[in-house]
Amino acid sequence: MTERVLAPFGRRLCEVVENRPSRGYRVFTLLDVSGPMPAAGQFYMLACERRWQERVERPFLPRAFSVADALQGEDGLRLDFLVEAVGPGTTRLGGVEVGERVWVNGPLGRPFSTPGEINPAVAGAVLVGGGIGVAPLALLRRQLADRGVPTRILLGFRDREHSGGVEDLFACCEVRLASEDGHAGHQGYVTDLLAVVLEGDDPAGAAIYACGPPAMLEAVRAICAARGVTCELAMESPMACGFGACFGCAVPLAGGGYMRLCVDGPVVAGEQVETALVAGSGHR
């Protein structure tokens, strides 16, 4: 799983075959007839064919989206993306209509490692997701299940509106939930659940995989660092290109300097980064 799947060179048009609501989010499905099966944690740069910098000022640049699920169908690869309308790009993509087409460049970036690759002594996995960040964990869960890796899933949300994706992407499996408003599961943060899980665990028992808002990722990184547990974080940083050309998605390294999140990430080991609080993640 560590080997990144290479993207076909150049962008391609993929048809929208489904777009359904998922509480406050949307899940849309693209039919990719020529691209390869992605590895969990990889992402795609997406831009609508129409009404993208066409009689509108923004969006101009494509937007990076982790792939939430990928299923090989008879007619091609069906790629699921989870989207929350938070700016002009996500609003446009969330509103795509079945039959229209989207420019796709990907799969891109470094995927999640297997638990054994992270630490040969580790057999299991704990997936920690928050909000819209649950997306890449859905494909990771599927790919870990295919390998017979015992996996526990912890998901946290602000409120019911922001818990889209749970029923859609994790319908098949047992998940432990946390919500800030207490509407489902533990009232509080998903990192509370992680702390409890790690209490009863041998530190080398499971590898931690996390994706979510910067504050959640930073909490996961700190909890794991304090306990000497290895973790991988799927991070986000504003990027213009997704393939190392623009140097925009700089994330500070623990040892000084920066990495480009698009080619050196988006999945990073917790100890690689100084902090998971990425500057500039608010501009969408």
Residues of the shown chain interacting with another protein in the complex, contacts defined by CB under 8 A = 4, 6-11, 47, 53, 57-62, 103, 105, 108-109, 237-252, 256-258, 260, 263, 278-280, 282-283
Least distance (Å) from another protein to the CB of residue 160? 26
Query: Which residues contact residue 89 at a Cβ distance below 8 angstroms, ignoring those fewer than 6 apart?
Result: 47, 58, 59, 61, 63, 284
Least distance (Å) from another protein to the CB of residue 170? 29
DSSP bridge pairs for 252: 258
CB closer to another protein, 5 vs 269: 5
CB closer to another protein, 41 vs 129: 41
Least distance (Å) from another protein to the CB of residue 59? 7
The residue count of the chain comes to 284
CB closer to another protein, 7 vs 198: 7
CB closer to another protein, 24 vs 109: 109
Least distance (Å) from another protein to the CB of residue 87? 9
- Do residues 262 and 241 touch, judged by C-beta distance below 8 A? yes
Least distance (Å) from another protein to the CB of residue 213? 16
* b/e code 89-107 from CB counts within 10 Å (16+ = b): bbebbbebeeeebbbbbbb
Give the span between the Cα atoms of 139 and 72, in whole angstroms.
Answer: 13
CB closer to another protein, 197 vs 254: 254
CB closer to another protein, 164 vs 213: 213
Least distance (Å) from another protein to the CB of residue 276? 13
Least distance (Å) from another protein to the CB of residue 239? 7
CB closer to another protein, 67 vs 194: 67
Least distance (Å) from another protein to the CB of residue 3? 11
CB closer to another protein, 148 vs 257: 257
